[in-house]
Structure 1
């Protein structure tokens, strides 16, 4: 699995459960998540990307998108509730 590399500029947004309206597959390892996008979309790079035992620090949420190299999921920091995008990259593409 790849590292979490970006986050919205504003943390602490309210998280609510919501049905997936775009027909994308849900992440089989997590519950439904939705986010409030009333913020600017400035991205910042994480200072401490680990990649090891990612489930201990983050809750993996719904699928955000797919690309040539992998799948991007919404993931939430368990301690701060900060929402991030986590990309899982296929080893075949490395």
Structure 2
């Protein structure tokens, strides 16, 4: 299976390109979407434990979290240490599923 990665700055066309792949039947893993999903699930209690007061009704409140981490490199690093492994695990599961299904790309 060929694995492609789309990277780039804001406004570079990553979402447009990903949609083109999706429209062509290519499975696409969206890390941004994964973070949003994790913030309302598995990551929420972990983020709340690290940054008290950043969840509401069991979901990460992104505005509250931003107040705690933006401008604080140590806090951002702490958040990344929570989120990045979860996103990587989700991506690995996604790839495993589609590899097993015989997806060519």
TM-score range with shorter-chain normalisation? under 0.3
Q: Which has the larger radius of gyration?
A: 2
Larger fraction in strand: 1
- Give the TM-score normalised by the residue count of structure 1: 0.24
